[in-house]
């Protein structure tokens, strides 16, 4: 576990639209919902598609653009098939306009 790393500006994140950032060598999808930001792995556990390459957010789940598996943003649990394995989720802190993620 590392320290928090600045990953983005809150004001640059659109509402409920996944944005790709790399923290170190870890690809992460950031999703802003109001003043809350979720950080999940940006690699689908089914066949490694990127959520930020056409995915969307629906009812608290991030939906994969390739085969439409969904994962709960708060804890990464798999929702709709075909994915079975959970996504990694990362701790986020918002400090003013700074979005900090711990990988
Ligand atoms: S790669 Fe995401 S559902 Fe298949």
Closest ligand 1 atom to Cα of 83: 3
Beta bridge partners, 68, equal: none
pLDDT digits (tens, 9 = 90+) for 60-101: 999 999 999 999 999 999 999 999 999 999 999 999 999 999
For residue 15 the two structure tokens come to 């509402």
Residues 3-61 have pLDDT tens digits of 999 999 999 999 999 999 999 999 999 999 998 999 999 999 999 999 999 999 999 99
Tokens 């790399």 map to which residue?
22
Question: Is the pLDDT reported for residue 1 higher than 70?
Answer: no
Mean residue pLDDT across the chain: 96
- Which two three-digit tokens encode residue 50? 């990127």
Residue of 84, 75, 74, 78 lying closest to 63 (CA atoms): 78
Q: Give the whole-angstrom CA distance, residue 46 versus residue 84.
A: 7
**What is the Cα–Cα distance from 59 to 72, expressed in whole angstroms?**
9
CA distance 7 to 101: 6
Q: Is the CB of 66 under 6 A from ligand 1?
A: yes
87 lines ligand 1 (CB under 6 A): no
SS3 content of the chain, % helix, strand, coil (to 5): 5, 45, 50
Domain ranges of the chain: 5-102
Nearest Cα residue to atom 1 of ligand 1: 47
Give the Cα separation of 10 and 95 in Å (integer). 9
In the CATH scheme, what is the homologous superfamily, with its name and number, of domain 5-102? Answer: Rieske [2Fe-2S] iron-sulphur domain (2.102.10.10)
């Amino acid at each position: 576990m590392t320290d928090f790393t600045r990953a983005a500006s809150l004001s640059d994140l659109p509402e409920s639209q996944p944005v790709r950032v790399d923290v170190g060598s870890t690809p992460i999808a950031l999703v802003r919902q109001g003043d809350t930001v979720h950080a999940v792995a940006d690699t689908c556990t089914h066949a490694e598609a990127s959520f930020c390459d056409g995915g969307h957010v629906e009812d608290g789940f991030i939906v994969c653009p390739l085969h439409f598996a969904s994962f709960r943003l708060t804890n990464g649990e798999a929702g709709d098939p075909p994915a079975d394995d959970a996504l990694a989720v990362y701790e986020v802190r918002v400090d003013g306009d700074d979005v900090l993620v711990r990988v």
